[in-house]
Amino acid sequence: MPKDDFICIGHRGASGHAPENTLKAFELAIKLGCQWIELDVYVVEGELLVIHDEKLNRTTNGSGLVEAQTVEYLRSLDAGDGEKIPLLSEVIKRVAHRCKINIELKGTHTAEPVNALLKDFISKGWREDEFMISSFNHEELAASSPDIKRGALFHKQIANMFERAADLNAYAVNLSQKIAHTEIVAQAHERGYQVFVYTVNTRDEMLVLKKMGVDGVFTNFPDLFPSDKP
């Protein structure tokens, strides 16, 4: 059945229109009506930085491995349109409860510092349900706070997918579009999981997935997201 509460998740913000994983992209995603934004984190010198690739070359004017740099160097770089690589704390403050935040653990040993940061924000008035933590690294995801929703990421279909999600006490299975089909969505829902699909960048694909019963999509182009109006 089509979803009445189909969720738009800004993939690295509105990254089809602004430099990915920047405050500019997140602001635009919120302006375009995203209920969630998605971002990626690495920890460097105890700070959580929002960037996707393990190397700097594609998305900044820097070079080398993110985790091999200093925070000072990373923060000096241009991440596009004069934007800096933001700190996770900066993103949360800028969002200011206007949407929810899906934090993908990309770098090594990111779960514990994310747990600590979110605990601090929750002590200051944020709610646990305003966050979700996800990762392809399920060992790292297992170390994330049990009080925060977990999204188990899968880029290919595996035989023990739902067993792995159960072991993680996952709230959602976040699936590559190439493996999202009616049967797997139904199986996930039967087991009580939400299903979010990445990365969906045409309106027609979004409509197909909505009809399939998917709970939401990650998209670089939130402006293409179908409204509930006929």
Tell me what the mean pLDDT of segment 62-91 comes to. Answer: 98
Catalytic residue among 52, 97, 138, 155: 52
Q: Give the span between the Cα atoms of 47 and 224, in whole angstroms.
A: 34
Contact (CB, 8 A) for 206 and 34: no
Tell me what the mean pLDDT of segment 75-90 comes to. Answer: 98
Sign of CA dihedral 33, 36, 39, 44: positive
- Residue ranges and CATH numbers for the domains of the chain are 11-224 (3.20.20.190)
Contact (CB, 8 A) for 180 and 197: yes
Res. 48: pLDDT tops 50:
yes
- Determine which helix (DSSP H) or strand (DSSP E) holds 121, and give its type and residue range: helix 111-123
Q: Is 97 a catalytic residue?
A: no
Tell me what the mean pLDDT of segment 170-182 comes to. Answer: 98
Backbone angles phi, psi at 147, to 5 degrees: -85, -10
Q: Is 11 a catalytic residue?
A: yes
Catalytic residue among 11, 97, 181, 189: 11
Question: Structure pTM?
Answer: 0.97
Residue 68: band (very low, low, confident or very high) from pLDDT cuts 50, 70, 90: very high
Res. 201: pLDDT tops 50:
yes
